[in-house]
Amino acid sequence: MNAVGGIVDASQDGLTIIVEVADGRVCAARISSTRRTDLSRLFVGRPADEAPLLAERIFALCGAAHRVVAARAIASARGEPVPAQRNRSDAIALAAERLGASLRSNMILALQRESKSADLELVRPLGELLSLLRDLCAQSFARAPGAAEAARLLIVRIRASGHALGLAAEGAEPAYPLAFRQLEKEFAASEPLAITAPDSLGDADDLEIMQRARAAGASFAVAPSLEGRAPETGAFARRWAETDFSKGALAARFQARMIDIAECLSELEGAERDFPAACHAFSPALREGFAAAETSRGRLCHWVRLSVDGRIADHQIVAPTEWNFHPTGPFIETLLGASMSRGCAERRIVQLASLFDPCAPFRVEVREHGHA
């Protein structure tokens, strides 16, 4: 068997996941990448104030998060405090983008199913909700008079749209849209992939990440690692303790994403309250700043060093995909030794990769062991 699958064609830059199967089990797996991981060099030499908007444009898939995290890293390097109102608007933008990205990823998974009748019925209302979330991100960054009220009205509409779709707020009994319930049932009924508690990244890891990014530069950003660990980041890393492991990795990871979606909706519904810090940020040295925030795909980190005249002297970005799809990382660990029948191996691996949710296109090749 030599199958190719995924969410894009093989001509696009991204990840290639090559899996070898023998006697119904995965005996080897590797990842090759052609995706650009050197784009942080585009920031060097530019005025620091240009970096947040440039980051948003370059990394459009999680543009709001890149904008916020870059701005916080620069503010830390300058020793500038972040006003409470700015923190609140940034937190709203992050929650809106995280919610939208998670819903979009679920919809892609649903549309890959053979039976799509319920899924197609979800496309229009979900598209309208995603449009509202994009507008909310834009309003959160606006500084014009009336922007805060416009954001409040958008949140009211988002809350109504979310509940109409069956997206329960955190703490309520889950009530997914039909297409998502069907996905959950499919994952629960499939051959269970082994699952264990992840080695989750968090605030406590940021100092070491910063030190390694500063010392190794782009080589660390391409394949980040922490000694003796295989860290994971993303919805499952955040919410794993609330999930049911008994039905295997696919079901638990999907459940974690749905819990995360409910949390984001809950955060937006309580937008009038004070938010915790949108980013974990600090200054390790004069004119240096580091910031990290949680996105739908996981922890996003920026480290910057400013020159005396306020330009970007160095800038490193460590993205979630490089942790989760590291050559010895959690995605590969989940695959190795997994039971995979010939007929469903390609589909299951595509679903697993989609639940890890790389911020790059990917393709999957499944081969019989020993295939030349």
| Per-residue exposure over 301-319, b if at least 16 CB sit within 10 Å of its own CB, e if not | bbbbbbeeeebbbbbbbbb
Tokens of 306: 């400013």
Place of tokens 């039976």: 115
Round the CA-based radius of gyration of the chain to a whole number and report it: 21
Asked if 340 and 25 count as a contact pair (C-beta separation under 8 A), the reply is yes
Helices and strands (DSSP H and E) totals, the chain: 13, 8
The answer to whether the annotation marks 317 as part of a ligand binding site is yes
Q: How far apart are CA 250 and CA 253, in angstroms?
A: 5
| Diameter over CA atoms, the chain | 65
Structure tokens at 287: 């004119």
Q: Please, which residues bridge with residue 21 across strands? A: 26, 368
Neighbours of 157 (CB within 10 A): 14
The answer to whether 209 is a known ligand-binding residue is no
Can you say which residues are annotated as belonging to the binding site for Ni(2+)? 359
Can you say which residues are annotated as belonging to the binding site for Mg(2+)? 317
Can you say which residues are annotated as belonging to the binding site? 317, 359
